[in-house]
Amino acid sequence: MKAAVVPELGARLEIRDVPVPEPGPGQIVVQIETAGLCHTDIHAANGDWPVKPKMPLIPGHEGVGRVVAVGDGAEPLREEDRVALPWLGHACGQCRYCIKGEETYCIAPAYMGYTMDGSYAQFTLAYASHAVKVPDGVSSFDAAPLTCAGVTTYKALKAAHPQPNETVMVVGIGGLGHLGLQYANVFGCTSVAVDVEDEKLQLARDLGADHTIDARSGQAEQLESLGGVDIALVTVPSPAAMRAAHAALNPTGRLVLVGLPADNRLELPVFETVLRGISVMGSLVGNRNDLADCFDLHARGRTRVVAESRALEDVNECFAEVLAGRVPARLVFDMS
Ligand code: NAD
Ligand code: ZN
Ligand code: ZN
């Protein structure tokens, strides 16, 4: 089968012919129809983070397709079921975090397209327990970005307990942010979108942002005239953007960190954090119920996925496009 492979950290991806995987106990093989390109895949290929991915690696954790092979004990999934393969490839199900529904913080996780091979391939091996069925009302094309960009921003906002009278600022209107902005509206909040590209700010207005802010010019003044924000969801992998978002928060505000910069340090003022009762929190993707919620909201017309289709052969050019901020808002590899 055809797959895009990172041969070693920092190297260009190679399109290779590799063996079709076979399912072991509890596993399935999925014939991939669509595979979203998350900025995380670029971090993975570059080895940007303190914990490195397996090498060689097939990236991808927004894969959607049909089950074509089922291992022992992989029921109730069956051949022909259409499923999504999210970042959380497997969790132990036994630890205290799994038991309380916070399985993304499992003490023994497997990550799709990071610690196990992902969906930049014609077929992907997955654990049946952590594949999520895609309902009929959601196309495979739309399901791909929802599988990480959607669920991550939905869960991150939920973790900050948004109230309808609050203002949510979403920083970065890329793959994650364009959906995060829509969830802010779904939660009934006033939404503020921040980006550094004119096209992204226009996209935010098209998607229903109440306010847009160009971070290239006078972000602090523009936010002050809005009366500050209560929740800041920062999808941009930039400590500077995180500090600017912290400064924009009203008393009792929540800074939700989602973007994962290669520069793994963030300096924040303690005095303002304490005196204003600010919470600084991190959030990692979402659990299987969260993803099912995202599919359900989408099927009910509450969100719109903005994405363009690409061929897997163009994966290196696609990475460059994302890094240049030229993508409206997600790229999806069409594998069908
Ligand atoms: P993306 O490249 O699609 O989007 C980034 C956006 O930020 C772009 O629209 C870009 O124009 C904008 N931007 C760049 N600099 C900016 C600035 N200074 N101020 C405002 N906007 C700016 O990336 P993505 O796929 O949305 O991923 C974003 C980050 O989130 C990555 O670091 C990724 O690894 C991380 N991520 C985290 C999780 C999680 O669970 N925590 C899940 C998925 C992705
Ligand atoms: Zn992702
Ligand atoms: Zn666990």
Contact present, 322 and 156 (Cβ < 8 Å): no
DSSP classification of residue 130: G
* Per-residue pLDDT tens over the stretch 56-66: 999 999 999 99
Mean pLDDT to the nearest integer, 205-228: 93
Mean pLDDT to the nearest integer, 197-206: 97
Can you give the residue ranges of every domain in the chain?
A: 2-133+306-334, 150-282
Q: State if residue 27 touches ligand 1 by the CB under 6 angstroms criterion.
A: no
Residue 224 banded pLDDT, cuts 50, 70, 90: confident
Residue 221 banded pLDDT, cuts 50, 70, 90: confident
The pLDDT, as a whole number, for residue 53 is 98
Query: What distance in Å separates the CA atoms of residue 212 and residue 227, rounded to the nearest whole number?
Result: 14
**Scanning the structure block, which residue is given the tokens 């014609």?**
122
CA-nearest residue, atom 7 of ligand 1: 172
Q: Which atom of ligand 1 is nearest to the CA of 42?
A: 34
The pLDDT, as a whole number, for residue 153 is 99
Phi, psi of 174 (to 5 degrees): -95, -145
Amino acid (one-letter) located at 271:
F
Residue 45 banded pLDDT, cuts 50, 70, 90: very high
Q: Which atom of ligand 1 is nearest to the CA of 257?
A: 41
- Answer whether residue 219 shows pLDDT above 90: no
Q: State if residue 306 touches ligand 1 by the CB under 6 angstroms criterion.
A: no
The pLDDT, as a whole number, for residue 220 is 84
- Answer whether residue 75 shows pLDDT above 90: no
Q: State if residue 181 touches ligand 1 by the CB under 6 angstroms criterion.
A: no
Task: Indicate the helix (H) or strand (E) that contains 82.
Answer: strand 82-85
Classify domain 150-282 at the CATH superfamily level. Answer: NAD(P)-binding Rossmann-like Domain (3.40.50.720)
Ligand 3 centre distance from Cα of residue 310 (Å)? 35
Ligand 2 centre distance from Cα of residue 62 (Å)? 7
The pLDDT, as a whole number, for residue 126 is 98
CATH of 2-133+306-334, one of 3.40.50.970, 3.40.720.10, 3.90.180.10, 3.30.300.210: 3.90.180.10
Q: State if residue 44 touches ligand 1 by the CB under 6 angstroms criterion.
A: no
Burial label for 121, CB within 10 Å (0-12, 13-18, 19+), is buried
In DSSP terms, 109 is beta-bridged to none
CA-nearest residue, atom 29 of ligand 1: 259
- Answer whether residue 336 shows pLDDT above 90: no
Q: State if residue 200 touches ligand 1 by the CB under 6 angstroms criterion.
A: yes
Query: What distance in Å separates the CA atoms of residue 109 and residue 90, rounded to the nearest whole number?
Result: 6
The overall average pLDDT reported for the chain is: 97
Sign of CA dihedral 145, 146, 151, 153: positive
The pLDDT, as a whole number, for residue 99 is 97
* Per-residue pLDDT tens over the stretch 300-333: 999 999 999 999 999 999 999 999 988 989 999 9
Contact present, 67 and 121 (Cβ < 8 Å): no
